[in-house]
Amino acid sequence: MEPRPAHTFDGFRLEPPPGGLWRGDVRIALRPRSLAMLRYLVAHAGRLVTKAELRQHVWGGSHVTDTVLRVSVQEIRAALGDAAAAPQYLETVAQQGYRLRVGGEPEDPPHRRQPVYRIAFISPLD
């Protein structure tokens, strides 16, 4: 079996288990669940990851409060040098979950714009 590659973005390197998060030659300390949450978010970058999905896939369906999720998000933001007020990497989607912005735009479909119709008036020839 071939080893899984590391994910890289903006100078960060996220190695598959049992590896960790690196920036250059410096390993960034993250608790195991926060690291697992970051791995899941990176694997699903660009789309909304719901709180229920995180509870299921990162915490194995065990009862986890929103506070526990927020603490992990705060740890991830601190590790990435991100800010909740102006997120560069990790966006909170109110009451729903989180979206990691790396390697492009979100996958959620864009809002459709209404078509613009142009009407030309032609005056009759004299």
User: Smallest Cα–Cα separation from 63: which of 54, 71, 75?
Assistant: 54
Residue 2: the pLDDT is 58
Evaluate whether residue 18 is within a structural domain.
Answer: yes
Is 114 among the domain residues? no
Residue 111, domain member (yes or no)? no
12 inside domain = yes
Domain that holds residue 37: 7-100
Q: How many domains does the chain have?
A: 1
Q: Is 105 part of any domain?
A: no
The reported pLDDT for the residue numbered 124 is: 56
Q: Is the pLDDT of residue 110 over 60?
A: no
User: What is the maximum span of the chain, computed from C-alpha positions, in angstroms?
Assistant: 84
pTM value surpassing 0.95: no
Query: With 70 as the cut, is the pLDDT of residue 50 above it?
Result: yes
Alpha carbons within 13 angstroms on the beta-carbon side of residue 17 total 9
Condensed to tens digits (0 to 9), the pLDDT of residues 58-75 reads: 999 889 999 999 999 999
Averaged confidence pLDDT in the chain: 83
Can you spell out the DSSP letters for 45-104?
TTS-EEHHHHHHHTSTT----HHHHHHHHHHHHHHHT--SSS-SSEEEETTTEEEE--SS
**The CATH number of the domain where 78 resides is what?**
1.10.10.10
Residue 70 domain-assigned?
A: yes
| pLDDT, tens only, 2-40 | 567 889 988 999 999 889 999 999 999 999 999 999 999
Res. 105 pLDDT band, cuts 50 70 90: very low
In-domain check, residue 50: yes
Quick check: is 119 in a domain? no
